Amino acid sequence: MSRVRVEPLGAEIELQPGETLADAAWRLGYEWPTTCWGQADCMLCRVEVIARPELVEPADDEERRAIAHNLPRAERRRAVRLACQLLVTGDGVVVRKEGVRPPSPR
Amino acid sequence: MTQLDERTATVPFAVTDPWWIDRERYYDRTFFELERDRLWNSVWQMACRLEEIPAVGDYVEYTICDQSVLVVRTGPEQIKGYYNACRHRATQLALGCGSFRGGQIVCPFHGWRWNIDGSPSFIYGAEGFAAAAVAERELHLVECRVDTWGGCVFVNFDRDARPLREALEPMPSLLDPLGVDRMRVYWWKAVRLKANWKMAQEAFLEGWHVMQTHPQLTLGRPADYRADSLEYHSYAHGNSGYWTKPGGRPVWDADREVESIIESSRLLYEGLDAMTLARDMHVIESLRTRPYEKGVFGAQLVQAIFEYAAGAGIPLPMPEDPAALVRWGGVFYLFPNFFILPQYGNALVYRSRPDGDDPEACYFELWSVTIPPASEPEVKPEFGGVYRPDDTSAWPQIPLQDFSNIERQQRGLHSHGFRRLRLAQDYEGGISNMHQELDRYLSR
């Protein structure tokens, strides 16, 4: 298990081995913006990695292509990653993502 | 052999004598379309292996003729099949295989989406439709029937079809004691053959072609290989099977029983890499060190296989009735297009399907499956690829030999010198039984 903090909500999300940040959030019942649900296509789930970027696995070809083709130039910063593709190798990564909502009580 | 059904006489090129099969059944377009509409739309068919969809949300797309369905694991113990078309403007919702992430099935066209249980979860632009057109009950994904047996998922597009178990019997009763549901994929490959899907599979509905097609399996003595060394059984609903007759192995030199069995096993292992695998070879070769007793070597071999399995943590079940073990090495055909060939804790599995819209093309798959040690983690099987039928780097000797005949048969069908296939009553009843059941579907 690796923990990722999501700002500004301040949520701590536990990722299972091999699980992406978005998959973990969806599994735990968070609302995490998307329209394509994990297809590396809609770009809506993108985050900015603001701490411990060395613990984030590099983007693969599919994600890099999506960032190059589906995002306006001004937004193609190095720290921008897709939560639906984002894997971490350890605790302590912090990302910034507006629009994440905690699981609603049932 | 069952009495021919009178109703089936209306089918074009119907089987009117069980031992003669009209050649048009393998290439005529009207016949092919009748199969599409009346066979494939109402028969239970193997859609995928359970191990392909281990986690909730995993899916496999199954295609047959012009139909595509998504087989989805919707719960730890639940699987559903959805016709693969968006309820908006028909876009196929998913292709190939994968996982519906976040539990959502999303149309790539306008983003309509569904929970994996088939209920709509988001209808983008709903306000632009007449209310009745986007009413919740209108928008559920449309399901087909799904059931499981033997580690596989089967689908059926006919709501009124008989239950799966009933359609498959007696195969589950014959094969369950051998542990087929515990087997997992060792390798999985496919071949595209220029032959009708039935022509391809009929190569495996009888075993007496071994003498000429696979001479190596006769240990250099094809002249001694008897066509009647196997016993053939036809069952209801088109199913059939065959296995070695008691004492039906005359090829094996009685004086050299041990070496003959080891050599036969090696030929199967090296020529197929299925049914007899490396671990079995190891067990069989170790028998050389045991004191030889004439006539009981077969029993010693069985005992050694079970001893090895127990020691290696392989959950190979001991059948309640040990007579079930006579089915090791047999061939079991499940109508319309699925085969299981069990041996020890392994099996070779075949599936033959029409390839697209061409009556003379088929997509033929082979799986080598085996019961893994209980300690081994479950992994999704990896598809090894589609290969040409003459690709010597992809196929071992035995399938290469089978494939080469199948395409020659299909071409031979069109010869001015050929009109219909003649079948051996004693050896090819399974082929006739399959065609007769097919006619029952086509006449409905």
Contacts of A26 in chain B (CB under 8 A): 101-103
Could you give the C-alpha distances from A76 to A44, A82, A96, B139, B306, in angstroms and in order?
A: 13, 12, 15, 38, 61
Boundary-marking domain end, from B124, B140, B160: B160
Under 8 Å CB pairs connecting chains A and B tally to 26
B357 within a domain of the structure (yes/no): yes
pLDDT value at residue B46: 98
Are B323 and B417 part of one and the same domain?
yes
Distance separating alpha carbons of residues A81 and A43, to the nearest angstrom: 9
pLDDT in tens, chain B (444 residues): 456 667 787 899 999 999 999 999 999 999 999 999 999 999 999 999 999 999 999 999 999 999 999 999 999 999 999 999 999 999 999 999 999 999 999 999 999 999 999 999 999 999 999 999 999 999 999 999 999 999 999 999 999 999 999 999 999 999 999 999 999 999 999 999 999 999 999 999 999 999 899 988 888 888 888 889 899 999 999 999 999 887 766 555 666 788 888 888 998 899 899 999 999 999 999 988 888 777 788 888 999 999 999 999 999 999 999 889 989 999 999 999 999 999 999 999 999 999 999 999 999 999 999 999 999 999 999 999 999 999 999 999 999 999 999 999 999 999 999 999 999 999 999 999 999 999 999 998
A26 and B101 within 8 Å at the Cβ level: the answer is: yes
pLDDT value at residue B86: 98
Distance separating alpha carbons of residues B413 and A43, to the nearest angstrom: 56
Boundary-marking domain end, from B136, B160, B184: B160
Q: Kindly list the domain boundaries of chain A, sorted by start residue.
A: 2-96
B295 within a domain of the structure (yes/no): no
Per-residue DSSP letter, B211:
H
A39 and B108 within 8 Å at the Cβ level: the answer is: yes
Q: Can you tell me which residue has the tokens 């720290």?
A: A79
Are B119 and B170 part of one and the same domain?
no
**B146 - beta bridge partners?**
B155
Could you give the C-alpha distances from A83 to A41, A88, B204, in angstroms and in order?
A: 12, 11, 50
Helix (H, G, I), strand (E, B) or coil at B242: strand
B35 within a domain of the structure (yes/no): yes
Q: Count each helix (H run) and each strand (E run) in chain A, helices first.
A: 2, 5
pTM: 0.93
Please give the CATH topology (third level) of the domain spanning A2-96.
Answer: Ubiquitin-like (UB roll) (3.10.20)
Are B176 and B77 part of one and the same domain?
no
Q: How far is B142 from chain A (nearest CA, A)?
A: 21
Of A22, A35, A84, nearest to B111 by CB-CB distance is A35
Report residue B13 as tokens: 């090129």
Q: What is the number of structural domains in chain B? A: 2
Are B214 and B121 part of one and the same domain?
no
Distance separating alpha carbons of residues A59 and A88, to the nearest angstrom: 11
pLDDT value at residue B254: 63
Are B235 and B354 part of one and the same domain?
yes
**Are B171 and B239 a contacting pair, CB within 8 Å?**
yes
Sheet strand arrangement including B120-122: B104-106, B113-115, B120-122
Q: What is the domain extent for residue B416? A: 1-42+165-252+318-444
User: What averages of pLDDT result for each successive group of 10 residues across chain A (106 residues)?
Assistant: 95 96 96 95 96 96 94 88 97 97 83
**Are B208 and B430 a contacting pair, CB within 8 Å?**
no
pLDDT value at residue B253: 63
Of B101, B108, B111, nearest to A84 by CB-CB distance is B101
B209 within a domain of the structure (yes/no): yes
Instruction: Spell out the residues 6+ positions from residue B267 whose beta carbon is closer than 8 angstroms to its own.
Output: B216, B217, B219
Contacts of B109 in chain A (CB under 8 A): none
B200: nearest Cα among B405, B425, B432, B419: B405
Are B148 and B172 part of one and the same domain?
no
Are B213 and B233 part of one and the same domain?
yes
What b/e readout covers A32-48, taking b as 16+ CB neighbours within 10 angstroms?
bbbbbbbbbbbbebbbb
Are B87 and B145 part of one and the same domain?
yes
Q: Count each helix (H run) and each strand (E run) in chain B, helices first.
A: 10, 20
CA dihedral B107, B109, B111, B112 (to 10 degrees): -60
Of B102, B108, B111, nearest to A26 by CB-CB distance is B102
Of B102, B108, B111, nearest to A38 by CB-CB distance is B102
pLDDT value at residue B1: 45
Are B420 and B371 part of one and the same domain?
yes
Q: Which of B106, B122, B124, B380 is the mutation pick for testing A, counting most A CBs within 10 A? A: B106
Boundary-marking domain end, from B131, B160, B189: B160
Of B102, B108, B111, nearest to A23 by CB-CB distance is B102
Are B436 and B325 part of one and the same domain?
yes
pLDDT value at residue A106: 59
Q: Which of A36, A43, A45, A84 is the mutation pick for testing B, counting most B CBs within 10 A? A: A36
Q: How far is B99 from chain A (nearest CA, A)?
A: 9
B101 and A23 within 8 Å at the Cβ level: the answer is: yes
Q: Closest chain A residue to B102 measured between Cα atoms?
A: A26
Could you give the C-alpha distances from B28 to A54, B362, B379, B380, B444, in angstroms and in order?
A: 63, 15, 42, 39, 19
Relative to beta strand B58-64, strand B97-99 is: antiparallel
B281 within a domain of the structure (yes/no): no
B290 within a domain of the structure (yes/no): no
Distance separating alpha carbons of residues B71 and B84, to the nearest angstrom: 10
Q: Is B385 on the interface with A (CB under 8 A)?
A: no
Q: Is B98 on the interface with A (CB under 8 A)?
A: no
Distance separating alpha carbons of residues B174 and B327, to the nearest angstrom: 8
User: DSSP string of B21-85?
Assistant: EEGGGGT-HHHHHHIIIIITTTS-EEEEEGGGS-STTEEEEEEETTEEEEEEEEETTEEEEEESS
Are B76 and B194 part of one and the same domain?
no
A37 and B104 within 8 Å at the Cβ level: the answer is: yes
B284 within a domain of the structure (yes/no): no
A37 and B106 within 8 Å at the Cβ level: the answer is: yes
Contacts of B93 in chain A (CB under 8 A): none
Q: What angle do CA B331, B5, B169 make, to 5 degrees?
A: 35
Angle separating helix axes B278-286 and B297-312, nearest 10 degrees: 130
Are B379 and B443 part of one and the same domain?
yes
pLDDT value at residue B329: 93
Distance separating alpha carbons of residues A30 and A56, to the nearest angstrom: 21
